[in-house]
Amino acid sequence: MKVHITNIYGVTGIGLKAQQAAAEIAKRDLQYQELGIYFYPVDSDSPDMLRTRLDGILASVSPGDVVIMQSPTWNDIRFDESLMNRMNRYSGLKKIIWLHDVQPLMKEAKREFLSRWIELYNQADLIIAASQNEVDVLRSHGLRVRKTVIQRMWDCQVSVDRTLVPRFQKVINFAGDPSNEPKLAFARNWKYDNITLAVTVNGGSWAQGKNIRFLGWYNNDNLLVNALRRSGGFGLLWSEDAYWREYMRINASYKFSTYLAAGIPVIVPSDIAESDTILRKNLGIVADSLDEAVERVAAVKEEEYKKMAEDTEQFAWLLREGYFTRKVLTDAVFQVFAD
């Protein structure tokens, strides 16, 4: 028996980064076998071409194996459905779907497709979900899969410069480009004169007249986390967009893990799944509003910040070394065979 895990190629962004990082840990540390999937226009395939493509992807799979399907593949949903249908032909195959993102819950314009995704998920033997909140939401929309494993956080395997110790600064860092993103309007409209917002972009006229500085744009996580360490202060996970805030409540954020892996305490909304962990492990600030978060940062004392940074640095080791991924993959394979 072999354990296989899908991996996507040909797409950019966090979706690619998260899937490839997970697959790399699975292959390197757990000896899982990769099933490579290319991002492409599915309409370009005839039915025969698609079958041939899927048979090629699954060529190394045998009856009785385990396949972990990282979802979505970021292709059209028809590809994911066809891949599942093809896997259903293998006798005794254990099918695990790892929910990286649920597209209809990410984007309101895709909400109408939620029932199709749920139907796809219901063909799995086990679901890996970001949080129990996510499981509960999906069950309320018809998810019937009995076995679930909770991921909790993304790993962020980076090398940090330990000579850079995060400093006590009245600074809030934001990793992302808010210039044209509606859900990040809070950054463009930054109104706080007492707390600086440090953004990981090269610059922009949208920041003129505001207490904003630029850290530069980084296409390499090692460079990014060290820029955050150099900046000091806190890392912000936030949005004022109602639909996205609801998604933040259930999903696991790679940005969140990046801050922690950098060793800087975080600022998060009180309703995200891991807010209790932040409080229990002293990893940052949990707030109900951005006004509250800024007030809390302004009131933080140096010794209080140093203790947060020390606790964050200790916790960061788990993320830098891939422990969350190894645990969730091991638990999933164990549970899929357990009663």
Annotated binding site for UDP: 183, 253-258
Contacting residues for 269 by C-beta, under 8 A, at least 6 apart: 237, 238, 245, 248, 249, 275, 286, 287, 288
CA dihedral (206, 212, 217, 220) positive or negative = negative
Q: Residue holding tokens 């210039």?
A: 179
Tokens coding 301? 């004392």
Which residues are paired to 5 by β-bridges?
A: 34, 68
Alpha helices per DSSP H over the chain: 14-30, 47-57, 77-87, 103-106, 114-121, 132-140, 185-188, 221-231, 242-248, 254-262, 275-280, 290-299, 302-320, 323-337
Please tell me the distance from the alpha carbon of residue 127 to that of residue 118, in angstroms, as a whole number.
11
Instruction: Sheet containing 234-236: give its strands across.
Output: 212-214, 196-199, 171-174, 234-236, 266-269, 284-287
Q: Which residues pair with 235 in a beta bridge?
A: 173, 266
Pair of tokens at residue 160: 């940090």
Beta-carbon contacts of 154 under 8 Å, excluding residues fewer than 6 positions away, are 18, 21, 252, 253, 254, 256, 257, 319, 324, 325
